[in-house]
Amino acid sequence: MNRRPIPIGWRSGLLMAVASVAGLAMFVWPLFWPAAPSSIQHASDAPFVFVVLLPVLVLLVLAQLADGGIDAKALAMLGVLSAVNAALRPLSSGVAGVEMVLFLLIVAGRVFGPGFGFALGCASIFGSALLTAGIGPWMPFQMLAAAWVGLGAGLLPQRLGRRPIRGAAEIGLLVVFGVIAAYLFGVLMNMWFWPYIMGPGSGEQSGLSYIAGGPIVENLRRFGWFTLISSTAVWDTGRAITNAIALIVLGPGVLKVLRRAAVKANFDVDGHAGTRVA
């Protein structure tokens, strides 16, 4: 069979949709409502995002259990991959955008599905923050951005017509997604702090600063220039190149290992015990 070993049910789909809409609102609300200078770097709303995000992650796992899409073996796989990704993050220093966090999210989301990818993104960043003492107002936003990468990888098409997408075609698809995800991840992580680091008083004449209560189009134009100059040309491009190289070199082997693990674990596909996947 060519379906994902951990399918997504309506409960988990609804939870991810609600969390994603609420999370996106937390990223972009300064475009629609003037951001006060006192709320610099989301210090006031980041704890709220974190408090909401953790129960959503727990509820997502419970919803997957209720839908019959995840079991104890799948939870163990989630824990193992979260630990591996949390360890990979400090080992790949991130200098010039070289980091391996998104690579594992992409291949795991591809193999195990969008719900697993979403949960893995949240858990990986949370575990990494605990491991490196990197807890701060940026963490819940990183968790959301990483969760969306895993979710997107899980939503990529599995078939082209009646033929499954495998081999070089699959790696090509993942490379394209990995490059796009690298840039979108950078854009999101710039948006979370841009209204405050480039807020009122930073010099509107520069054309890069946030205008509190200003027109959305004008603020988006300024943000576009800011993110292009500050990260897209260097950090995000480095992340995109890292994703592409890792997916080309390591992707086929890791995909094979994860799919073999899914078969060995005898993950459920349709809610019926004992159904294997190929």
Residue 138, both tokens: 């940026």
CA distance 203 to 209: 7
Distances (CA, A) of 4 to 165, 205, 246, 268: 13, 52, 22, 9
145 pLDDT band, cuts 50/70/90, is: very high
| Mean per-residue pLDDT of the chain | 80
pLDDT by residue (tens digit) across 226-253? 999 888 888 899 999 999 999 999 999 9
Q: Higher model confidence: residue 209 or residue 243?
A: 243
Per mean pLDDT, which range of 117-121, 147-151, 181-185, 273-277 is the poorest? 273-277
Lowest mean pLDDT among 18-27, 114-123, 132-141, 216-225: 132-141
Lowest mean pLDDT among 45-49, 97-101, 192-196: 45-49
What pLDDT is recorded for position 82? 92
Interval 180-201 mean pLDDT: 83
Instruction: Label the pairing between strands 159-160 and 163-164.
Output: antiparallel
Give 192's DSSP letter. T
